[in-house]
Structure 1
């Protein structure tokens, strides 16, 4: 085989590998763009859900404060009635304690009224408090999820840059340059492409 034939075979091989790399990389780049867009959408949804949960939590916290103010008002009236010796009125008011406050009041009395008032007891949980805590926890979780989704989208976007480098190196290898330079560029493009594919395989997929 003559040197010219050998050179031609290397040129054809380089062209075939180059076309293959260009085709595969173009598909992978499009896939990364698609995944980046999908994770960006998931980020927006999670941020929206976090915001909604925060609003609901604020509403529940307002409900809990209103319930506490009601209990404070009723308890103040009860204490006044007891102080004046109006037992019948005191019992009438006592019957209107909310279930949440009644539990705390009973435990407070049973323990010798150590605290200044039943409101300091851990048993006292105004209506809406637990809901507010759950909603705040949900908001925190969704916010963290949104940040994670944002990072995933960024990772896919960065990977498109890596594949763009593969396209650049492959395109340069197809130019009229010294054969050894073309092969070097093509080999480097193949290495970068393999690295990109390995990294891509570790990323979560969203369809």
Structure 2
């Protein structure tokens, strides 16, 4: 009686193990958090499964993904209503490594833990915080006056003696400030710890 009970338990455990192995499909190997290699401030990409469908999710991407059983690749299509771009992902021999191709460009990704993903997200948001631009910035041209950016409530302004305050808008996808300053379109982008690029020149923060 006791032997039969032990055999029943072992059989049930073996059945459960086989079921779990079969239900874990190859496409599930893509699930997890990924970070682009060689990028100091990289956006975290999450590949998740809801029901039987895989999805790509990041700060700028949210799209369903399709698994190709023959090629063992994962693909998705991003569209903005006017144009679309195809994304192709392929796990490498080390399944914690992945290659992503977007159009004619490609990048290598590494799998990270959920805890590491949260750390990366926090660092990413801090680096691209638009409040970084607030202050006075000086180029290497001695005669040139500092470039001044202020913030009032949630609005940013470029301030000059001649034109006064001109509104700036932050593009949180391309990570730059932009505004119409007189007849000139101004683009300001972070290019270092205390450095921005504007008008084709580098500016260092002085205030």
Identify whether the pair has TM-score above 0.5, normalized to the shorter chain. Answer: no
Bigger proportion of residues as strand? 2
Q: Give TM-score, length-normalised by structure 1.
A: 0.21
Q: Give TM-score, length-normalised by structure 2.
A: 0.21
Bigger proportion of residues as helix? 1
User: Which has the bigger relative contact order, CA under 8 A and spacing at least 6?
Assistant: 1
